[in-house]
Structure 1
Amino acid sequence: MNVEQAISNSLDSNPLARTGVVYVIDDDEAVRDSLALLLKANGLKVSPHESAERFLTSLESTDLQAPSCALIDIHLGGISGIELQEKLLDLNINIPIAFITGHGDVTTAVHTLKKGACDFIQKPVKENALCDLISQMLSKAHSIQEQTTTLEQMNERFKLLTPRELDVLDRIVAGRINKQVGADLGISIKTVEAHRANIMEKLKVNRAANLVQVALKYQAAKAQRLI
Structure 2
Amino acid sequence: MRYSIAKALSLLIILSIWACGFSTEKRRPKRIQDTLEERVVKKVSEAEIINKTTQLGDSITQVVGAVFMSKISKEYARGGYEAAAKYCSMNAYPLTDSLADQYKVFLKRVSNKNRNPINTPSDIEKNILEAFEYSSERGDEIGANVQFIRPGDTILYNKPIKIPSKLCLNCHGTKNQISKEVQAILKKEYPNDKAINYEVGDLRGMWSLKFLKKEIVQKL
Is the pair's TM-score, using the shorter chain for normalization, greater than 0.5?
no
Tell me the TM-score normalized by structure 1.
Answer: 0.26
Question: Which of these two proteins has the greater Rg computed from alpha carbons?
Answer: 2
Q: Which has the higher contact order (CA 8 A, sep 6+)?
A: 2
